[in-house]
Amino acid sequence: MTDYVAATRVFYDAIAEDYSAHFRSVGAGRPLERAVMAAFAEFVRSSAGGGGQVADLGCGPGRVTAYLDSLGLSVFGLDLSASMLAVARRENPGLRFEQGSMLELDLADGSLGGVVAWYSTIHTPDERLPALFGEFLRVLAPGGYLLLGFQVGDEPRHLDQPFGHPVSMDFLRRRPDPIAGLLTDAGFTLVSQTVREADEEVGESSPQAFLMARRP
């Protein structure tokens, strides 16, 4: 396991309970987030594979996993952090959650109808993104869909001692166009790029991007 993956796991193990409590009221997000997820669910259900399994990679406490389940998708969550997974299992007893890294998925080629990486690629360094997107493509069946969510910007946001815990982490912000370019370089067909402005009322400091792509 590389240093940044281990550091990410330590960070989220420390903050899992507080992170979950903080985001509980947000649910799967605001109207645009829910609209994008609804479109993703419809695409997956009507795709060539007839709507195979969906993996919520970097699922954290499982709030998005639960929302995708409520949209009728057959979904499971995967995360690095044992503490996040403990919260996810406790709060969503009917759903399946597994531990692992999305950089090396223990899944067969072409075995999924959809992949969601909702604010979970934000700790993967730029130089590892081509390999990560290649891994997403590998596990998707032809006609399967990928959905990414991430903060928009050029500079990382450094978080020190969140919720009073003695840990710190960089949150990488990115521009949608270069990410879309990396997705097409990896072999995806781009479906949509949605960007909404920062909602300052809830303390956001950057716009948010939601990219959808399809394995041809």
Query: Interface with ligand SAM by CB under 6 A: which residues?
Result: 5, 8, 12, 23, 57-60, 63-64, 79-81, 84, 101-103, 118-120, 123
CB of 48 vs ligand SAM, minimal distance in Å: 27
Instruction: Name every residue whose Cβ is closer than 8 Å to that of residue 185 and which is 6 or more positions away in sequence.
Output: 130, 133
Both tokens of 2, joined, read: 């590389």
Q: How far is the CB of 29 from ligand SAM (least distance, A)?
A: 8
> By beta-carbon distance, which residue lies closest to ligand SAM?
60
CA distance 97 to 56: 9
* Closer to ligand SAM by Cβ: residue 60 or 144: 60
- Choose between 143 and 186: whose C-beta lies nearer to ligand SAM: 186
Query: What is the token pair recorded at 59?
Result: 């699922």
| Cα 74 to Cα 119: distance, rounded to the nearest angstrom | 21
Among residues 129 and 141, whose Cβ is nearest to ligand SAM? 129
CA atoms within 13 A on the CB side of 178: 11
Nearer to ligand SAM among residue 46 and residue 98 (C-beta): 98
The least CB distance from residue 74 to ligand SAM, in Å, is: 18
User: Can you tell me the distance from the alpha carbon of 61 to that of 57, in angstroms, rounded to the nearest whole number?
Assistant: 11
CB of 213 vs ligand SAM, minimal distance in Å: 18
CB atoms within 10 A of CB 31: 8
